[in-house]
Amino acid sequence: PRQDTIALKHGAHRIGNRTDADMARWRSLRFGQFIHWGLYAIPAGEWNGKTYNGAAEWIRSWKEMPHEAYDQLYKQFNPVNFNPQQWAAQAKAMGAKYMIITTKHHDGFCLWPSKYSKYTIAASPWKKDLLGPMIDAYNKAGIDVHLYFSIIDWNHPDYRASLKNAADSAAGKRFQVFVKNQLAELLQRYPTVKGFWFDGTWDDSWKNDGAFSDELEQYLQSLHPGLVMGSRLRADEKGARHFDSNGRLMGDYEQGWERKLPATIADVHGNDWEAVMTVPENQWGYHAKWMGHVKTVNEILEMLVKSVSLNGNFVLNFGPKADGTYRTEEQQLAAGIGEWMKVNGVAVYDGAYAGFEKQDWGYYIRKAGTDSVYMVVFNIPVSGSLRVKLPARTALTGVTMLQGNTALTPEWVGRNEYFIHLQNRQTASPVVILLKTEKGE
Ligand code: FHN
């Protein structure tokens, strides 16, 4: 084992992945839904008749939009068509097993009636809590809920990006108390939540107080044992984020995979990890006019499958409209993904890196801890023949295509190599083939 070279009090406290049941559950779910919902859904990327292509949830920070105008939007937030059961049903039909909801994004607006802030849903025309009904509906649909929480808070008078003098430091201390209170409040109000998803932790004021984020993580764990929290929360005492100054992961999983995926298993260093992905290039909150490339069902499926094949979770983002409904593109995408997942999701849930030599046709996924390995085929070669190279001393004992539950007869090529010949070389969606293998002596 590698030796740590730097003595750290607030570095990683654990070497290797968590092995407890709560973490095992998170790891087995593999496919999640992200929801960015808040006041930014009202301007929806437009201000004063002009459309901006920046991320819609950042509109308050753009020079064109006066802060005062943004900070009045809560007076219009009234999602009259919000139907949490429908949201949960859509997520379930898509195949998502967990959901992450923005309790509070950078703008500071809280979707729950926090007693520590006036800038909450309670002050809007809607008045009622949004998180509670949402969490209930998702839980009833069998979906775990995790809470997104931004440390950066553009609305709070004590938030500072950096602490430059004694007054800033005093404000910073008050802000820390506020964060702690809000987080404890969320856990107390919503005891079924499984984790926090922290964001907005890149400012100096946060990075330079590794002791606080370390204590906060332990405090939250003590309030709610088993809680899952990624690597975005903490910094070590030298300001290193995600990985401490010795290169060890802090938090329960690597949380740096935003709108990008690792290329190979070497890139994840044996750690648990999760990728979060937008449907267009970079829009999280609702934007009325998506510009540029919009991902298709098959593109999303490939990202999901690739993530699982590399031991990761994949989370797809949705940005509901201010009235509480989803745009048609998102509804169609969710339905399309769900259609494939209905038959093939078995290859995704509880999936893990298979340890087989990767082939150009797609990805292998092992059902964790078993001899079942799924081939998920995205590129059928012109020959129609898929090469399978088994590890040494492994025998192929069965081949079944999930669509139609069809048994296939592999052709032995030599050594541990086989061909699986596909009759149909043109398919509209990825083909999944289950391999049964047996380890020999
Ligand atoms: O700035 C945010 C962004 O709006 C969005 O919430 C994403 C989601 O991962 N996180 C931040 C950027 O890293």
CB 134 within 8 A of CB 83: no
Pocket test for ligand 1, best of 33, 199, 258, 287 (most atoms within 8 A of CB): 199
Q: What is the CATH number of the domain that holds 63?
A: 3.20.20.80
Q: Which of 187, 101, 188, 189 is nearest to 138 (CA)?
A: 101
* Residues 160, 176 within the same domain: yes
CB 372 within 8 A of CB 435: yes
CB 206 within 8 A of CB 189: no
Find the residues whose C-beta lies inside 6 A of ligand 1. Answer: 55, 57, 199, 258, 276, 284
**Each residue of 282-326: pLDDT tens digit?**
999 999 999 999 999 999 999 999 999 999 999 999 999 999 999
- Going by the DSSP 8-state scheme, the letter that residue 73 receives in this structure is G
* % of the chain at pLDDT higher than 70: 99
Q: Which of 322, 350, 378 is the last residue of a domain?
A: 350
Q: Which of 190, 29, 34, 25 is nearest to 99 (CA)?
A: 34
Range of the domain at 101: 21-350
How far does residue 101's CA lie from ligand 1's centre (Å)? 12
How far does residue 428's CA lie from ligand 1's centre (Å)? 33
Helix, strand, coil fractions of the chain, as percent rounded to 5 = 30, 25, 45
How far does residue 283's CA lie from ligand 1's centre (Å)? 9
How far does residue 105's CA lie from ligand 1's centre (Å)? 9
Backbone angles phi, psi at 421, to 5 degrees: -95, 125
Q: Which of 35, 18, 8 is nearest to 273 (CA)?
A: 18
* Residues 269, 408 within the same domain: no
* Residues 173, 248 within the same domain: yes
C-alpha Rg value of the chain to the nearest Å: 23
CA angle 293, 297, 300 (to 5 degrees): 75
Residue 425 confidence (pLDDT) = 83
- Nearest residue by C-alpha to atom 5 in ligand 1: 284
Q: Is the pLDDT of residue 3 over 80?
A: no
**Each residue of 172-215: pLDDT tens digit?**
999 999 999 999 999 999 999 999 999 999 999 999 999 999 99
* Residues 180, 315 within the same domain: yes
Q: Residue 133: beta bridge partners?
A: none
* Residues 139, 279 within the same domain: yes
Residue 47 confidence (pLDDT) = 95
* Residues 164, 208 within the same domain: yes
The Cα–Cα gap between 439 and 393 comes to 6
Amino acid at 113: P
Q: Which of 263, 130, 146, 135 is nearest to 199 (CA)?
A: 146
Q: Is the ipTM of this complex over 0.90?
A: yes
Q: What is the mean pLDDT of residues 227-251?
A: 97
* Residues 330, 391 within the same domain: no
Pocket test for ligand 1, best of 258, 261, 274 (most atoms within 8 A of CB): 258
Q: Which of 310, 331, 350 is the last residue of a domain?
A: 350
* Residues 259, 327 within the same domain: yes
* Residues 324, 421 within the same domain: no
Q: What is the mean pLDDT of residues 150-168?
A: 98
Task: Let me know if residue 14 belongs to a domain.
Answer: no
The Cα–Cα gap between 225 and 212 comes to 19
What are the Cα distances from residue 104, in Å, to 190, 415, 424, 431?
15, 57, 49, 40
* Residues 58, 132 within the same domain: yes
How far does residue 33's CA lie from ligand 1's centre (Å)? 15
Pocket test for ligand 1, best of 284, 313, 316, 317 (most atoms within 8 A of CB): 284
* Residues 284, 309 within the same domain: yes
**Each residue of 65-85: pLDDT tens digit?**
999 999 999 999 999 999 999
How far does residue 354's CA lie from ligand 1's centre (Å)? 31
